[in-house]
Structure 1
Amino acid sequence: MHVATPVTRRQLIGGAAGGLFAWGSAAGAARGAPSHRLPEPETVKTTDPASMSAVEAAALLRAGRLHPRELLDSCLARTRAFDGDIGSWVRLYPEFAYEAADAAGARLARARREDTDLSPLCGLPVGLKDIFAVSGLPLTASSRVLEGNIAAGHSGVWRRLEQAGAVLVGHTHTDEFAIGLTTPQVGNPWNTDFSPGGSSGGSAAALAARFVPLAVGSDTGGSVRMPASACGVSSIKPTYGRITSHGMIPLTWTRDHVGPMARSLADAALLMSVLAGADADDPITSLGPRVPEGGYPVAARGGASPLAGIRVGVSTNPAPVPAAAVQRVVDMFLDLLRSLGAVTVPVTMPAMPSSLATGDRVEMGSYHQQFGDRLGLYRPENGGLAAAAVASLAVPAGDYFMLERDRIRFQSEYNRMFAEHALDAVAAPGCAVDGVRRGELLGVAVTSGAVADVRWANYAGAPVVTIPAGRSADTGMPVGVQLGARPWQDAELIAIGLEVQAALPVWRDEPVLAESIARAPEVPRGTPGAGPDPTNTSGAAAPVRTPPMNPVG
């Protein structure tokens, strides 16, 4: 087994820090809000690098008190020792990762010598959901349908991460083609008899198990929010079009959102600061307002009533209705909001147009029609869903675009609800059920909304953060809460979530893992696929993408 190199006490509390960095340093505080600062290295008390938060590890990496190779050693050693029963990884790329770690170490050392700025992600390990292309590495969407497929180029997500100096550890499991809501290949680190949620279940499990501090998922119908809630980690479903989806295997183009995931909301915001912004390969990313200067906040401002004046809507018509044990945790969360100064307001969420489900199937069928000769290679329950999606292509084009009008009406009603109640956010359970056993709910698509009230955010294109709120008294499984806002209010929403998470730091709780040797293959980088799409498949690029409506009021 690969043995981790621990950070020594001397490294943590002493040693030369080298130069300071403008982003997040004391010297740079005058140029940006304190909420954008990394912690001071002396405040980091965690000694195991794999258990450090991303912002803590970033602070030590910048100060020269931790080397990217040491951090990677610790993450890989933990993965190799404990991932067997969890199964969060499809494939690991240690050779590729160590090359990146050494390059990041050199970049960090040069930046200290020259007293220059550098991305806070430099040297941080990350996992990618198995739908994001990395040139020369396998890309299979956790499906036999794409067995042997090699990415032809970089996804926009990985291009940004690589430029920032992030270290790719591996691809995490998704429910096959991101279709379902359980990711049955993966066990929940809190209890491997339970599902980690889907479809970004592998990413959430890898975070909860402390295999990586950062991961990227996607959310078409709650696919980062439900796994984050189920595994006790955090996620951001940004405004639609805020992060590029170029080079990503799609589920439905008009609902797919790239989602930063991490153990804490601060860590997820650090990741989003690198991922968000315009990408020439994905024109929709240029249509919204600019990313805030300095990125997104990573620390709470604090104070006696940090949420004074904030109004949070609470749905009177959740669908589905949460289990009693889940609702008890959510009620305590709402009590905390009020204790921080927020006002909660009962609201009726706009009705979901049933016609939009047909549009989802048409978009899914448009991509999956290329695999018509491989339906027998899907998992049986997903093969039926894929075949039905392909059959839906018989829907007349005029009908499809009329369905898009329903989406616009829904977005208008959602924004009007915020304006009429003067809301800053809405709150909802991250998942309505109190845990799902592995093997349950197979063949239920994430677009169905079967286990959580999540679809409103995908159809509205609105940003949502999900943060851990506690654990069920009945099952012991984590419970998360969603906080949503109006489109393009990502920064304001993250700031609200950071205040709540500072007062409720349950994200620091770690599951107790049973030793179980990892089974994921360790794969070297090879020759890129033929392309031309980075995914090395057909029809991945979206033919139709429209930005969400500007908020009313």
Structure 2
Amino acid sequence: MTTRLSRRQLFGAATAGAATVAGLGRAAASAGPARRLPSPAAITASDPALLSAVEAASLLQSRALHPRELLDACLSRSAAHDGGIGAWIRIYPEQAYEAAESAAQRLAAGSAPLVCGLPIALKDLYAVAGLPVTASSGVLAGNIAAGDSGVWRQLRDAGMVLIGHTHTHEFAIGTATPQVGNPWDVEYSPGGSSGGSAAALAARFTPCAVGTDTGGSLRIPASACGITSIKPTFGRCSTSGVIPLTWTRDHTGPMGRSVADASLLLSHMAGVDVDDPCTSVGPDVPAEGYPLTTVGGSRPLSGTRLGLPRGVADDLPGAIGTLFGGFLDLVRALGGEIVDVTVPDVPKGLLSGDYAEFGSYHRQFADRLPAYGQESALAATAAMASLALPVADYFALERARLRFQHDYNRMFAEHRLDAIVRPGSLTDGVRRDALSDSSVFAGARENYFWANYTGAPVVCTPVGRSAATGIPFGVQLGGVPWSEASLISIVLELQEAQPVWRDAPPLGPSPRRIPEVRVAAPGAGPTATNTDDTGPGIRFVPTTSTAAV
């Protein structure tokens, strides 16, 4: 059993552990420089809850930190500060401590995966056998998962420690998560629909979290809360056992404080899942995992070309417009080139197909409409009405989507781009008492939809806080399908030069008795979510083709 250390002992032992971390598991000794964890001797945090994921992994691997100590710190901080934020919908301490002890045994034996022992939060869409999965909705009150989601199964097998489920905007329908406060100012929205996961990360309740993205739901809260998200290529991470919004646009993805944290998590949640055939389409996950460290140098982005869509920042409010302009200046200072581009228009009418998929899932709850929130009930009703869409029209929309993918890829090829750049938000914070229609389907939302319709990967990175509101603001960097490693490498350099991701909100005392749940008998099914989430047999496949369609 690993020796348990007090917090005072913890960081004295870190120096002694520095020499051993490089030889453990998938750490630096067996991998290239891009996989290095930080040296334990260089870690200065005084509270384990304040550690980033890669810092915590370094201390866990060197056995300077026991998984139970890290879990204690996360639960204590959550209990002391989640009252005004409300990020957690429920937690699972009994199961978490059992997992922490198991992780400690694996770490003591050596060769444990790099995420072994790290606490994690799951968005309340991910099924975990015998635990509730409710999509933050009264519609699924009392629903117990019948099995594990594909992503959780991989993370569990890697030794991660599940703290609990975080709130989502009901059924991931909206972009606000109104039941959660932004840790930087609880009067503001954390964004959505993965708002609970982003808030828990920003508040330092957990070093790792996962969310979903159907129309910006990883990127919007990442920008609003000052954390980092990776929306992978469609099919890179399994969606099996995750309550769907639209099957052909839903992406599961990692969230972390830094891009290194999110990259570490992506390395262990990506891969083939036989329950999700889309995960078998693309290239293999890199054997050494995704990058964790910078190349370095004074101009590390030399030769990198980032496309700036014309007019994309024209209407940004002044304070975040300044931050966006500063980000572009940073790219240039690091040797990168900003290239003006015209992006293809998202085809009109694609939302009709989205609504039909949305309605196809929610029609099983047609007799429970009063249990939805008002906004969600209206959206679900409209979606169910969209099931009258003729099949020929649906296939025509899918062809238009394919054409859009090819046009998007052609833009990259013609301009020799490594990525495109977009604001992470078009507004300077959104007050919770001023929220209007926040449905993910409302309006064009083309600032986000492009990535879901192409299936392309996007990293959202924080670049600072608004001088007007104090709310964080982020920037999206998107690539072509399967280019996650390249995007991560670019953002690693940017975050090294501008480490605003280290900024933490100044939380005051706000205690909360978070609901605790023990594992129970799994639900009856028919699927892991204990709902009918099978979806259509037709699946979306991302492409890098530039051919005319």
TM range (shorter): over 0.9
**Deviation of 1:324 (Å):** 2.1
Task: State how far apart, in whole Å, the 1-side matches of 2:6 and 2:380 are.
Answer: 46
Which stretch has the larger CA shift, 543-552 or 190-199?
543-552
Task: State how far apart, in whole Å, the 1-side matches of 2:469 and 2:86 are.
Answer: 22
**Deviation of 1:45 (Å):** 1.3
- Which residue number in structure 1 is paired with residue 70 of structure 2? 71
Task: State how far apart, in whole Å, the 1-side matches of 2:160 and 2:317 are.
Answer: 39
Check if 1:139 corresponds to 2:142. no
- Which residue number in structure 1 is paired with residue 271 of structure 2? 277
Residue 218 of structure 1, aligned match among 209, 212, 225: 212
Task: State how far apart, in whole Å, the 2-side matches of 1:300 and 1:457 are.
Answer: 26
Tell whether the 8 Å contact from 2:81 to 2:509 is kept in structure 1 after alignment. yes
Task: State how far apart, in whole Å, the 2-side matches of 1:269 and 1:26 are.
Answer: 15
- Which residue number in structure 1 is paired with residue 307 of structure 2? 313
- Which residue number in structure 1 is paired with residue 470 of structure 2? 476
Matched position secondary structure for 1:448: coil
- Which residue number in structure 1 is paired with residue 361 of structure 2? 367
Matched position secondary structure for 1:236: strand
Task: State how far apart, in whole Å, the 2-side matches of 1:92 and 1:246 are.
Answer: 22
- Which residue number in structure 1 is paired with residue 512 of structure 2? 518
Once the two structures are superposed, residues 336-372 of structure 1 have per-residue CA deviations (whole angstroms, 9 ceiling, x without a partner) of 0000110000111111112101011000000000000
Change (3 A) 1:428 1:20: closer
Tell whether the 8 Å contact from 2:346 to 2:446 is kept in structure 1 after alignment. no
- Which residue number in structure 2 is paired with residue 37 of structure 1? 36
RMSD: 1.7
Which stretch has the larger CA shift, 350-359 or 194-203?
350-359
- Which residue number in structure 2 is paired with residue 58 of structure 1? 57
- Which residue number in structure 1 is paired with residue 29 of structure 2? 27
Residue 249 of structure 2, aligned match among 251, 255, 270: 255
Task: State how far apart, in whole Å, the 2-side matches of 1:442 and 1:137 are.
Answer: 33
Tell whether the 8 Å contact from 1:181 to 1:441 is kept in structure 2 after alignment. no
Task: State how far apart, in whole Å, the 2-side matches of 1:107 and 1:22 are.
Answer: 11
Tell whether the 8 Å contact from 1:7 to 1:66 is kept in structure 2 after alignment. no
Matched position secondary structure for 2:187: coil
- Which residue number in structure 2 is paired with residue 462 of structure 1? 456
Tell whether the 8 Å contact from 2:361 to 2:535 is kept in structure 1 after alignment. no
Tell whether the 8 Å contact from 1:128 to 1:217 is kept in structure 2 after alignment. yes
Residue 336 of structure 2, aligned match among 330, 335, 342: 342
Amino acid at match of 1:280: V
Matched position secondary structure for 1:85: coil
Check if 1:192 corresponds to 2:186. yes
Alignment of 1:20-169 (within 5 A): 20-21=22-23, 23=25, 25-28=27-30, 32-111=31-110, 117-169=111-163
- Which residue number in structure 1 is paired with residue 382 of structure 2? 388
Change (3 A) 1:541 1:119: farther
Matched position secondary structure for 2:339: strand
Which stretch has the larger CA shift, 196-205 or 470-479?
470-479
Tell whether the 8 Å contact from 1:447 to 1:455 is kept in structure 2 after alignment. no
Change (3 A) 1:392 1:385: same
Task: State how far apart, in whole Å, the 2-side matches of 1:65 and 1:337 are.
Answer: 37
Change (3 A) 1:19 1:473: closer
Task: State how far apart, in whole Å, the 1-side matches of 2:320 and 2:239 are.
Answer: 33
- Which residue number in structure 2 is paired with residue 295 of structure 1? 289
Change (3 A) 1:377 1:442: farther
Task: State how far apart, in whole Å, the 2-side matches of 1:257 and 1:380 are.
Answer: 26
Check if 1:10 corresponds to 2:12. yes
Tell whether the 8 Å contact from 2:27 to 2:35 is kept in structure 1 after alignment. no
**Deviation of 1:16 (Å):** 8.6
Give the TM-score normalised by the residue count of structure 1: 0.95
Which stretch has the larger CA shift, 41-50 or 59-68?
41-50
Matched position secondary structure for 2:162: strand
Tell whether the 8 Å contact from 2:187 to 2:433 is kept in structure 1 after alignment. no
Tell whether the 8 Å contact from 2:27 to 2:114 is kept in structure 1 after alignment. no
Task: State how far apart, in whole Å, the 1-side matches of 2:446 and 2:229 are.
Answer: 15
Tell whether the 8 Å contact from 2:18 to 2:39 is kept in structure 1 after alignment. no
Amino acid at match of 2:104: G
Change (3 A) 1:477 1:450: farther
Change (3 A) 1:50 1:342: same
Tell whether the 8 Å contact from 2:130 to 2:147 is kept in structure 1 after alignment. yes
Tell whether the 8 Å contact from 1:13 to 1:42 is kept in structure 2 after alignment. yes
**Deviation of 1:447 (Å):** 3.3
Task: State how far apart, in whole Å, the 2-side matches of 1:491 and 1:27 are.
Answer: 20
**Deviation of 1:519 (Å):** 4.1
Residue 245 of structure 1, aligned match among 239, 243, 247: 239
| Identity of matched residues, % | 57
Residue 321 of structure 2, aligned match among 327, 351, 361: 327
Which stretch has the larger CA shift, 444-453 or 391-400?
444-453
Alignment of 1:395-474 (within 5 A): 395-448=389-442, 453-474=447-468
Matched position secondary structure for 1:469: strand
Give the TM-score normalised by the residue count of structure 2: 0.96
Matched position secondary structure for 1:77: helix
Matched position secondary structure for 1:345: strand
- Which residue number in structure 2 is paired with residue 546 of structure 1? 540
Matched position secondary structure for 2:29: coil
Matched position secondary structure for 1:27: helix
Once the two structures are superposed, residues 521-545 of structure 1 have per-residue CA deviations (whole angstroms, 9 ceiling, x without a partner) of 0111111000120000013445321
- Which residue number in structure 2 is paired with residue 114 of structure 1? none
**Deviation of 1:332 (Å):** 0.2
**Deviation of 1:33 (Å):** 2.3
Task: State how far apart, in whole Å, the 2-side matches of 1:384 and 1:283 are.
Answer: 32
**Deviation of 1:315 (Å):** 1.1
Residue 209 of structure 1, aligned match among 203, 208, 223: 203
Once the two structures are superposed, residues 125-151 of structure 1 have per-residue CA deviations (whole angstroms, 9 ceiling, x without a partner) of 000000000000000000000000000
Task: State how far apart, in whole Å, the 2-side matches of 1:339 and 1:19 are.
Answer: 34
Task: State how far apart, in whole Å, the 1-side matches of 2:172 and 2:477 are.
Answer: 23
Tell whether the 8 Å contact from 1:463 to 1:489 is kept in structure 2 after alignment. yes
Matched position secondary structure for 1:446: coil
Task: State how far apart, in whole Å, the 2-side matches of 1:98 and 1:24 are.
Answer: 24
Amino acid at match of 1:237: K
Task: State how far apart, in whole Å, the 2-side matches of 1:445 and 1:540 are.
Answer: 23
**Deviation of 1:27 (Å):** 2.8
**Displaced runs of 4+ in structure 1, greater than 6 A?**
none
Amino acid at match of 2:45: T
Once the two structures are superposed, residues 395-439 of structure 1 have per-residue CA deviations (whole angstroms, 9 ceiling, x without a partner) of 111111111011101101100111111101001110010000114
Tell me, which stretches of 5 or more residues in structure 1 are unaligned? 112-116
